[in-house]
């Protein structure tokens, strides 16, 4: 029986390398690769992940917020970093750290131009985001002329790319919608070239887009979840290896009689004699209450142990009645076999939410290439 001493998120860089190579094999040799490392590289460890991918030859990184980009620069990442959702209040920090903003409306464009002009910047790289159907962030198709008018003759910025984002790239029932988004983006790119007189880099596909819409790879693709080991179907998942394993240990075992309850609010009541194991991981570690009341489970000595009652802040209790185990044994929340995707689905959510929720309290252990 495997022993464990504390809760750890193991991150295997060999598996990251495998996923990177697989994704690269799905795009043309001259298509650039942007690795999305926002939200601590989806809950993993952004600096380690980015430095590893930089080494492997990733062309670009993306983060959501400016501070995430600053952390990468502090760790020594020198590759260009696109900030997907910058806030104008931190534009000076963005510029100091040589980060490249996504510009998605006229307000933020004007605010950025103000600062680049006042600092006498020349050709500061920016990326223009277009909305083609996700209706989240982005200029509209008809805004190209307006953008041109606002930028005017200023040389303080240089548009390095134009991009958009698919709303349902993983869902083939929405293929018509996705193809329509791709068509709109092509029209925007064409219009852009006519109005501006040059061709910036174009990109649109996230991981599922890479897998499902090779015709939309354009000049660069942007992958997050695929790098961390999840495809968009059971078939595709065979090619990916989840890079993270969340493991903990059994702190205590209790033998309970019929009719006893477990945990807060007595949310579980036993209908027969029961053995429970208490584990040092709770909702403050990112295992939310949605996993409680039998929905979520862990794996102990190769067997599934359901979560009993409510998830506490720092602990869960699981049912080990039919599992031979003792205090100090290892318990797996997710790994390459019992995947984060399966656990997430058991609670009606998605792998993205589960893995990005693993809180900073959980120790990260890096397994190197």
Shortest Cβ distance from residue 210 to ligand PLP (Å)?
8
Helix axes 144-151, 175-196, angle to 10 degrees: 40
d(CA 34, CA 61) in angstroms, rounded, equals 5
Of 100 and 319, nearer to ligand PLP (C-beta) is 100
Give the binding range for ligand PLP (CB under 6 A) out of 203-211, 270-278, 284-292, 358-366: 203-211
Query: Which residue's Cβ has the minimum distance to ligand PLP?
Result: 224
Shortest Cβ distance from residue 128 to ligand PLP (Å)?
13
The closest alpha carbon to 184, from 136, 145, 132, belongs to: 132
Q: Quick one: which of 133, 224, 229, 286 contacts ligand PLP (CB under 6 A)?
A: 224
Q: Is 222 in the site for ligand PLP (CB under 6 A)?
A: yes
Report whether 340 contacts 244 (CB < 8 A): yes
Q: Quick one: which of 7, 131, 223, 351 contacts ligand PLP (CB under 6 A)?
A: 223
Contact positions with ligand PLP (CB under 6 A) in 225-264: 225-226
- Pattern 33-72, ligand PLP, x by CB under 6 A: ---x-x----------------------------------
d(CA 176, CA 255) in angstroms, rounded, equals 56
Q: Quick one: which of 165, 217, 241, 289 contacts ligand PLP (CB under 6 A)?
A: 165
- How many other C-beta atoms lie within 10 A of the C-beta of residue 101? 29
- Pattern 83-122, ligand PLP, x by CB under 6 A: -x--------------------------------------
d(CA 62, CA 101) in angstroms, rounded, equals 10
d(CA 214, CA 128) in angstroms, rounded, equals 22
Q: Quick one: which of 97, 207, 278, 299 contacts ligand PLP (CB under 6 A)?
A: 207
Tabulate helix, strand, coil % of the chain (nearest 5).
35, 25, 40
Tell me the β-bridge partners of 89: none
In the set 155, 264, 303, 304, the catalytic residue is 264
| SS3 label, residue 333 | strand
Instruction: Give yes or no: 22 in active site.
Output: no
Token code pair at residue 96: 């100091």
Instruction: Give yes or no: 104 in active site.
Output: no
Give the binding range for ligand PLP (CB under 6 A) out of 52-60, 220-228, 254-262, 311-319: 220-228
Report whether 297 contacts 306 (CB < 8 A): yes
The closest alpha carbon to 333, from 310, 351, 360, belongs to: 351
Interface residues with ligand PLP (CB under 6 A) are: 36, 38, 84, 165, 206-208, 222-226
Q: Which are the catalytic amino acids? A: 38, 264
């Amino acid at each position: 029986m495997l022993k464990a001493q504390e809760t750890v998120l193991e991150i295997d860089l060999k598996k990251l390398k495998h996923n990177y190579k697989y994704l690269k094999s799905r795009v043309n040799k001259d298509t650039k690769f942007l690795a999305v490392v926002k939200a601590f590289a989806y809950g993993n460890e952004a600096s380690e992940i980015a430095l590893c991918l930089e080494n492997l030859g990733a062309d670009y990184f993306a983060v959501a917020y400016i501070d995430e980009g600053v952390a990468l620069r502090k760790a020594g990442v020198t590759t260009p970093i696109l900030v997907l959702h910058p806030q104008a209040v931190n534009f000076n920090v963005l510029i100091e750290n040589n980060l490249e903003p996504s510009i998605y409306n006229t307000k933020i464009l004007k605010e950025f131009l103000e600062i680049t002009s006042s600092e006498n910047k020349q050709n500061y790289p920016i990326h223009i985001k277009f909305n083609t159907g996700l209706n989240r962030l982005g200029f509209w198709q008809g805004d190209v002329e307006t953008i041109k008018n606002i930028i005017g003759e200023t040389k303080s910025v240089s548009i390095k790319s134009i991009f958009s984002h698919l709303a349902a790239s993983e869902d083939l029932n929405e293929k018509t919608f996705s193809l329509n988004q791709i068509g709109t983006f092509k029209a925007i790119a064409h219009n852009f070239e006519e109005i501006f007189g040059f061709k910036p880099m174009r990109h649109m596909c996230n991981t599922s887009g890479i897998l499902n819409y090779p015709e939309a790879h354009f000049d660069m693709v942007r992958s997050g979840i695929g790098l961390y080991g999840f495809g968009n179907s059971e078939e595709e998942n065979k090619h990916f290896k989840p890079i993270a394993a969340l493991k903990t240990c059994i702190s205590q075992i209790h033998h309970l009689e019929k009719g006893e309850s477990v945990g807060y609010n007595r949310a579980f009541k036993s209908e027969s004699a029961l053995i429970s194991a208490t584990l040092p991981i709770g909702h403050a570690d990112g295992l939310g209450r949605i996993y409680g009341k039998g929905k979520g489970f862990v794996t102990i000595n190769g067997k599934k142990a359901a979560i009993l009652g409510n998830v506490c802040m720092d602990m869960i209790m699981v049912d080990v009645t039919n599992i031979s185990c003792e205090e100090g044994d290892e318990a797996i929340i997710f790994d390459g076999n019992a995947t984060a995707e399966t656990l997430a689905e058991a609670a009606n959510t998605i792998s993205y939410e589960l893995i990005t929720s693993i809180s900073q309290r959980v120790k990260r252990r890096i397994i190197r290439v």
